[in-house]
Amino acid sequence: MFRSLTRTQLVVDVVVGGVFALLVLPVDLSIGRFTAANALGTALVAMLMGGALAVRRLSPALALTVAWMGALVQMAMGRPPSLADVAIFGVLYATAAYGSRRVFWAGLISVGVGAAAITAYVMGPVTVDRFDAASISVALAVLIAAAFGLGLAWTTGALVRTGIRARENRRAQEVAEAQTAAEIERTRIARDMHDVVAHSLAVVIAQADGARYAAASDPAAATAALGTISTTARAALADVRMLLTQLRHTEAQGPQPTLGDLEQLYAQVRAAGVELQVDVDPAPRGDIAASVQLAVYRILQEALTNAMRHGRGGPVEVALAWHDDRVDLTVQNAVAARPASDPLVAPTEQAPRGHGLIGMRERAQLVGGRVDAGPDGAGRFVVHAVIPIQAAA
């Protein structure tokens, strides 16, 4: 019933209502038809109308009720319309601009009922005494004038209400768009975090296992493996720090991987002891859109990470075919399962995790492509991606 107003708004409305009552009271009392005997009634009407004006924004429903009380008191005491009735226009404006839906329509009904009441109150005795065409014409003129004046105040408030609702809708839309953009950014960062950490940890695990086996027979190989672990871990730490910086400063955009970084990715995989076979035929022609380059890199990175994590020996085969309208990317490796009792494999490593596959599919979908991944029935796990090629702008 009561709206939330600032202290300044509330003080201004109360002052306006009080000043209005103080200004109209002497004017109404000075009119000859108001004698000392009915001065109390005049003051009561002025106070009611001033009070309605004071609470018009705080509670439009209460303001409309008080204004009707003032009008009824005025008619009950036989007083003609006075300057205090000007407050009714402000109240009707407030009901349309700030009132609830029910108060909004109550204000419109008050326009019609009020116009009819004014016409009947002012012209009733004249029409009864002289029921002729001239009297009826005057009554219709009064009705139209009253309806126009009251309706104009209500319509103005309705227009203001529309503007307020439009601003609120725009603000809500801006908030929703900001939340959506933030969610997209969080998803992107989470995906990048997964790509970086999963790939780096897979390399570290492979190197650590190799160093453990080579420690006794080939100390030099163990030392090299430890060096690779250190380099990979430091690179992963730098990437994680960059992603965390992006979380703090969402507008900071660091350089994204391109096709030129694929050789470094292949080198990391080979350094982990994986036999990697790469076939690029046909080669890319012309400039490739950065979004496509990023998608190819991330999908390859995740597919190779899965191959290192879940592969069970044998080469990992990568095939890239750059056609005029698309690029076909295929990564396949053997996935013959080890016995669950193998002490070198943790139980949680027996089954692939699904987040990486979801990330690859999301990467492809962002550029209008698709990813299919799964066993081929011959003991191999195959990742196949088809990505439309977009020319660089």
pLDDT tens for 100-157 read 999 999 999 999 999 998 888 877 665 555 666 777 788 888 889 989 999 999 999 9
What does DSSP say about strands 276-280 and 316-322: parallel, antiparallel, or unpaired? Answer: parallel
- DSSP secondary-structure letter at 31? S
Q: Which of 174, 199, 230 is the last residue of a domain?
A: 174
Q: Are residues 66 and 168 in the same domain?
A: yes
Neighbours of 247 (CB within 10 A): 13
CATH code at 286?
A: 3.30.565.10
pLDDT at res. 126: 57
Q: Are residues 150 and 275 in the same domain?
A: no
Which of 55, 31, 54 lies closest to 103, judged by CA? 55
Residue 202 lies in a domain: no
Q: How far is CA 282 from the centre of its chain?
A: 44
Place of tokens 């994986």: 274
Domain limits for position 351: 261-393
pLDDT at res. 53: 93
Residue 378 lies in a domain: yes
Rounded to whole angstroms, the Cα distance separating 346 from 353 reads: 14
Q: Are residues 143 and 269 in the same domain?
A: no
The sign one gets for the Cα dihedral 305, 311, 315, 321 is negative
Rounded to whole angstroms, the Cα distance separating 317 from 332 reads: 5
pLDDT under 50: residue ranges of the chain? 249-252, 338-353, 391-393
Residue 149 lies in a domain: yes
- DSSP secondary-structure letter at 347? G
Q: Which of 174, 191, 213 is the last residue of a domain?
A: 174
pLDDT at res. 160: 94
Residue 222 lies in a domain: no
pLDDT at res. 180: 82
Q: Are residues 30 and 169 in the same domain?
A: yes
Residue 247 lies in a domain: no
Residue 245 lies in a domain: no
pLDDT at res. 216: 67
DSSP one-letter string for 254-304: PPPP-GGGHHHHHHHHHHTT--EEEEE-SPP-S-B-HHHHHHHHHHHHHHH
pLDDT at res. 2: 84
H or E element in which residue 204 lies: helix 133-217
Q: CB under 8 Å to 337, separation ≥6 — which residues?
A: 312, 350
Residue 254 lies in a domain: no
Rounded to whole angstroms, the Cα distance separating 357 from 371 reads: 8
pLDDT at res. 269: 87
Q: Which of 148, 174, 200 is the last residue of a domain?
A: 174
Residue 193 lies in a domain: no
Tally of domains within the chain: 2
Q: CB under 8 Å to 334, separation ≥6 — which residues?
A: 311, 312, 313, 314, 379, 380, 381
pLDDT at res. 238: 62
379: left (phi > 0), else alpha (psi -120 to 50), else beta? left
Rounded to whole angstroms, the Cα distance separating 46 from 53 reads: 11
What does DSSP say about strands 326-334 and 370-375: parallel, antiparallel, or unpaired? Answer: unpaired
pLDDT at res. 12: 94
Q: Are residues 281 and 378 in the same domain?
A: yes
